[in-house]
Structure 1
């Protein structure tokens, strides 16, 4: 009876070993597959293009003793500005009101004992901002000049951009892929291994920061023209490629 029990224990142990081996084998195979030899490289491509559109900020600010008076004065000036811009060919879709506000103006005086009087409203400021997309850059200086004459007294920031930069981005993207592929070829040849299939590819696209310029000072002579230099926009794409290394 003792011999039978010992044989049963040994058989069970052996059976357990075989069963465990059956579960371990797939796990090891999966780990081997995940540990495929790879090489990851990156390439950066860039392309430039002259801007074909400018975005400018025009602001009309008016002060008055009452909110109604300030609003009326502001609205009258902005109405003239809008009419003039449309008369110069700026489409409605390229005109957008931004940052409209009505703010009270306070006065607070010191008392003889060093304390302060309660603030008193002495007037109101109405600010009405307008974002304008100018698609004909030759008009830009004239638009700024005429807007200032019609009552724009703040703003003037200019950003140069492109309406449709897709072809330029594509050129930068292709250049980035070519650079990454060339880098992978150089590395694998130097290491004495063979480059395999593409395992993964991704990109990072850096939207160019618009070129910002300050408009001419509002106090300048009205018969002078605003000088404008548009420069160029640079679009950058970084591509990351992971290749398998053939054994």
Structure 2
């Protein structure tokens, strides 16, 4: 657990007013507490890409579809269920003849083939399956694994814990400050909580898993994901 606590103190001392009978605003003590907790990731997302080429768009597409169906069957054999994957980006691009070193003035490129790229996005909480899925995917014809990241499926599960931690520290710090300043806390005037920051998945860099790595065994260590809360309390003091 990582904890960072930031404290700001605003102490407004009462000053005698020259106008008799006018009420003065109460003296205030303001404390802010920022707490960051780390929780283990319980979800992983990754993309599997298949790229095929053919001398016609139809041939490249048929080959790609066949490889994708083989991939899906392979992943299902390893235990992946339909709700844990969906198709992603898809593209067909023509491949042109390269320019010669010294092309003639009337040189024109022509289409010599077509590239088809299709991807499958996996999102699962069964982290133990991922190394098996990647190994199986490489054997099924996947060219690349990308966008691999860890996250927390429902960060709200831990939200109350982080808020309670931040509030407890703010109360504790306020009491220490009041005791040190020889003042008394009367009551809480205001409590505010910052909007929670978006929990960004933690990407895993450097994962380029090509078919030539089909005999490799991948080990993934589950990282911790940071959650935070910032609480501000305003007290009346005397």
TM-score by length of 1: 0.75
CA, structure 1 residues 62+97, in 2 after alignment: closer, same or farther (shift >3 Å)?
same
Kept in 1, the 8 Å contact 2:141–2:211? The answer is: no
Of the three residues 211, 231, 235, the one matched with 1:239 is: 231
Q: Does 1:209 align with 2:203?
A: no
Note the aligned Cα RMSD (angstroms): 2.7
Kept in 2, the 8 Å contact 1:141–1:227? The answer is: yes
Q: Which residue of 2 aligns with 1:143?
A: 133
C-alpha distance in 1, partners of 2:68/2:198? 33
Q: Which residue of 2 aligns with 1:120?
A: 110
Q: Which residue of 2 aligns with 1:42?
A: 32
CA, structure 1 residues 83+112, in 2 after alignment: closer, same or farther (shift >3 Å)?
closer
Kept in 1, the 8 Å contact 2:97–2:111? The answer is: yes
C-alpha distance in 1, partners of 2:143/2:112? 22
C-alpha distance in 1, partners of 2:109/2:32? 61
Q: Which has the higher helix share?
A: 1
Q: Report deviation, 1:112.
A: 4.7
**Matches for 1:211-230 after TM superposition, within 5 Å:** 211-213=202-204, 214-215=206-207, 217-218=209-210, 220-230=212-222
Instruction: Tell me the alpha carbon deviations over residues 49-77 of structure 1, each in whole angstroms, 9 at most, x when there is no partner.
Output: 22222111111111122211111111110
Q: Which residue of 1 aligns with 2:15?
A: none
Q: Does 1:183 align with 2:151?
A: no
**Structure with larger Rg:** 1
Runs of 5+ in structure 2 lacking a partner?
Answer: 1-21
Q: Report deviation, 1:176.
A: 1.0
Q: Which residue of 2 aligns with 1:7?
A: none
CA, structure 1 residues 198+130, in 2 after alignment: closer, same or farther (shift >3 Å)?
farther
C-alpha distance in 2, partners of 1:112/1:224? 44
Q: Which residue of 2 aligns with 1:20?
A: none
C-alpha distance in 1, partners of 2:119/2:24? 57
How many aligned residue pairs are there?
A: 215
C-alpha distance in 2, partners of 1:33/1:144? 72
Q: Report deviation, 1:128.
A: 0.7
SS of residue matched to 1:163: coil
Q: Which residue of 2 aligns with 1:19?
A: none
Runs of 5+ in structure 1 lacking a partner?
Answer: 1-31
TM-score by length of 2: 0.77
C-alpha distance in 1, partners of 2:84/2:106? 48
Instruction: Tell me the alpha carbon deviations over residues 82-137 of structure 1, each in whole angstroms, 9 at most, x when there is no partner.
Output: 12222333222211211111112223525857758343222211111111023222
Q: Does 1:154 align with 2:144?
A: yes
